Structure 1
Amino acid sequence: MGLINLSHREKQAIGAINSGELHDLVNQAISSEHLGKLSSLPLYDCGEYVATKLRYFDRALAAHRTAKSAKKREETLYFAHKTGSDLTLAFAQIKQRMEVEERASQLFFVYDLTMPPFGLTQNMQVRVSYRWRRATGDEWTSGSIVFKHKVRPRLDYHALAQPKPKRKPSARKLAENRESDLLCEWEHFERLAHWSVLDYFRAGRDGAGIPGQFEVRLGDDDRLNNFSADFWGRNVSS
């Protein structure tokens, strides 16, 4: 599952499952204390969130199956019902997400995240590509926006609070730490950039209004925040 879009495989799996049937099979599984026919549904292909809930439910059934005392079985039965309910809710949420994506895709599509560039530096760029049209009968227009971000050095207060190491870190270790920090910053930056474009279209804005590039705005602490990639004034006009 991508941050922006469900994969084709996930959509196929979600579309193949009937919510009412899922609810009935969850109840049957609790009664029989085994997944049973629930295993035949492509739940593991519906994305990691649903797959995780299914694993929790399976473990809850196993715990209920092996419980001996009346008190223990009462506890495990409650947990089986809870995890089963969590599973059906997770599926309902992912199905709703698919329906929202399908409706939105009639007018716009934002392409998913890319791999980080080789050799990250303090000067970062993320290109977000998209296509859009004003009405379903119109031709598609493709476009992209380049977000720019210069990472500013800042103190690591957590590290300063730790006891000083007996040995000074090697140059290699320092370089590895720096690379790791830059990668975390780039991933955060990329997510913000993609979500900004997606939210722009979801707000009913016109694709013609997206600029070719945008320098992100950092917060007072010189860090990225939820509005740093906001090129369209959401925090002011909406």
Structure 2
Amino acid sequence: MDIYMTTSERIALSAVDSRKLDELIDKAVDEERSGCLGTLNLRLCGPFVSGRLDTLERTLSRYREAKSSRKREEVAYDLERAKRDLSSAVRSMQQRADEEMRDQLHFHVEGEIAPPYRFNHKLTARVSYRWRKTVDDDWTHGNITFVHNVDTLAHGFPPSKRKLSARKQQEDLQKQLSDTWEHLMRGALYSVRDYLKEGGDPIAIPGTSVAKVDASGHLNNFSTRFWDRKA
């Protein structure tokens, strides 16, 4: 899982001049076609920017196809918003790229966590990271293991009303546990990254942290915030 931009995305974003971007967006609207934006390689700038470009292109298509002046006026409102959203998306991702480059001079979280061959009711996700105080220091490495003990009833795994084969029951359970592990893994990665980004002391990161579930027994966005409590 990528919690950082790829190198190619950062390179593509750095090549986009924001002033030229706005000029070409306006030109695309005037021409009612997005072809001129192709010179900026926006589709190489990551899914967030690509999604906003898709929205602009769909809106331009609707604008071209609008027959009445009233319909064109209605679509024009959406078109203005699509223009702003694309421009804002590029600037936002450029800012994020700059922040990530600065952050990774001092810390880095490894984004690849291999899932287990087979899941059981005790799910774990081990996050590795490294840090240094200055760029002249050697890297110090660490890791933290997040643990989640799954309550199958709380997680929406009620006994089936239909008679399923033992094999099918195990397949269903493995799929449900896999989805829960994905949630745990994502939360674990983002929690460690955000903790270090916010200036948290790497030495204070515990070796193990038990995920905290909500009142219904599910994981949420705060389940892996290990610094809010003792592990």
Whether these two folds match at TM > 0.5 is yes
* Structure 2 alignment gaps of length 5 or more: none
1:168 aligns with: 163
Deviation beyond 6 Å, 4+ runs, structure 1: 156-160
Change (3 A) 1:86 1:215: same
2:143 aligns with: 144
Q: Deviations over 1:138-158 (max 9, x none)?
A: 221122112222112225679
Query: For 1:193, what is the secondary structure of its paired residue?
Result: helix
Task: Tell me which amino acid in the other structure corresponds to 1:38.
Answer: L
Q: How much has 1:43 moved relative to structure 2?
A: 0.9
CA distance in 1, matches of 2:215, 2:69: 58
Using the size of structure 1 for normalisation, the TM-score is 0.87
Paired residue total: 230
With 93-102 and 171-180 compared, the bigger mean Cα shift is at 171-180
Task: Tell me which amino acid in the other structure corresponds to 2:35.
Answer: G
Contact 2:119–2:178, Cα closer than 8 Å, also in 1: yes
CA distance in 1, matches of 2:39, 2:114: 34
* Structure 1 alignment gaps of length 5 or more: none
Change (3 A) 1:59 1:98: same
Contact 1:30–1:81, Cα closer than 8 Å, also in 2: no
Q: How much has 1:220 moved relative to structure 2?
A: 3.6
Query: For 1:134, what is the secondary structure of its paired residue?
Result: coil
With 95-104 and 26-35 compared, the bigger mean Cα shift is at 95-104
Contact 2:113–2:127, Cα closer than 8 Å, also in 1: no
Q: How much has 1:6 moved relative to structure 2?
A: 0.5
CA distance in 2, matches of 1:157, 1:127: 25
Task: Tell me which amino acid in the other structure corresponds to 1:228.
Answer: S
Contact 2:155–2:217, Cα closer than 8 Å, also in 1: no
Using the size of structure 2 for normalisation, the TM-score is 0.89
| Alignment partner of 1:178 is 2:177 | no
Listed as ranges, the matches of 1:1-238 within 5 Å are 2=2, 4-155=3-154, 167-233=162-228
Contact 2:127–2:145, Cα closer than 8 Å, also in 1: yes
Q: How much has 1:129 moved relative to structure 2?
A: 1.0
Query: For 2:226, what is the secondary structure of its paired residue?
Result: coil
With 77-86 and 12-21 compared, the bigger mean Cα shift is at 77-86
Query: For 2:20, what is the secondary structure of its paired residue?
Result: helix
